[in-house]
Copies of this chain bind each other. A is one copy, B any other.
Amino acid sequence: MPCYSPSTGRQIRAVLFDTFGTVVDWRSGIMAEVDQFAHRHGIGVDAAEFALSWRARYQPSMQRVRSGAREFVSLDVLHRENLSQVLESLGFGDGRFASGELDRLARSWRYLPPWPDSVPGISELKRHVIVGPLSNGNTGLLVEMAKYAGLPWDVVLGSDVSRAYKPDTGAYLTPARLLGLDAGEVMLVAAHNGDLQAARSAGLATAFVARPLEYGPGRDGELVPTDDWDASVSSLTELGAQLGL
């Protein structure tokens, strides 16, 4: 049962989703895990600031891989390294916590709550098209995330399959190739205009979803589409209708 991109008329066979911020609420999930960690260890930290600080190290750490300054390593590894940096910036240097405890905290990025519309929206789309993540997360992380959050993906191909981090072109084209689809038969859904811009440059169809609370109340996420994406919605449950499903 094919559907067509409303603005381009291209048939969409797979709808793939950015995950952190777009499908799951990383900030709330990380805050909850950090709060538990702090309580367990009897330390005082501002969990909201901790989550933002950890996330702020996300793009710079991937940039070293994108630029070629560093060989590809998985996002699990980057999350763990970035966690050590955050703790150090707060005065908790090496040795303050057992390494296994930090490994466990670093895996918090697997256990994040979905936005309320994510599971129903993706489930509806799954009836008509292939659904999956198109994320900088590695495959193991994304599979665990899906099981925890109940995300009904048809396929999970992490960044460790393409060995490329968005917005590098390979990150968008590898999943299309492995699904046997042309780039134009694949749609990326994201709450981030920059991600959509790169996806469009790679030839994918694009849909914006607004996630104003991604960074928390009073800290606006990207509220509006900055380009004429093929679709634009305020909830994933609206996307099927916009795609004419």
Contacts of A157 in B (CB 8 A): 139, 157, 161
A146 on the B face (CB < 8 A): yes
Report the minimal beta-carbon distance from A52 to chain B, rounded to whole angstroms: 26
Is the pair A140, B76 in contact by a Cβ cutoff of 8 Å?
Answer: no
| Distance in angstroms between the alpha carbons of A130 and B154 in the assembled complex | 13
A138 on the B face (CB < 8 A): yes
- A141's closest neighbor in chain B, by CB? B180
Contacts of A153 in B (CB 8 A): 154
- A143's closest neighbor in chain B, by CB? B155
Is the pair B161, A154 in contact by a Cβ cutoff of 8 Å?
Answer: no
Cβ-defined partner of A156 (8 Å) among B74, B76, B155, B158 = B155
| Distance in angstroms between the alpha carbons of A160 and B76 in the assembled complex | 24
A38 on the B face (CB < 8 A): no
Within 8 A of B (CB), among A24-74: 74
A104 on the B face (CB < 8 A): no
A interface list, Cβ under 8 A from B: 74, 76, 130, 138-141, 143, 146-147, 153-158, 160-161, 178-181
Can you name 20 A-B residue pairings with CB atoms under 8 Å?
A: A130-B143, A130-B147, A138-B178, A139-B155, A139-B180, A140-B180, A140-B181, A141-B180, A143-B154, A143-B155, A146-B154, A147-B154, A153-B154, A154-B156, A155-B155, A155-B156, A157-B157, A158-B178, A161-B161, A161-B178
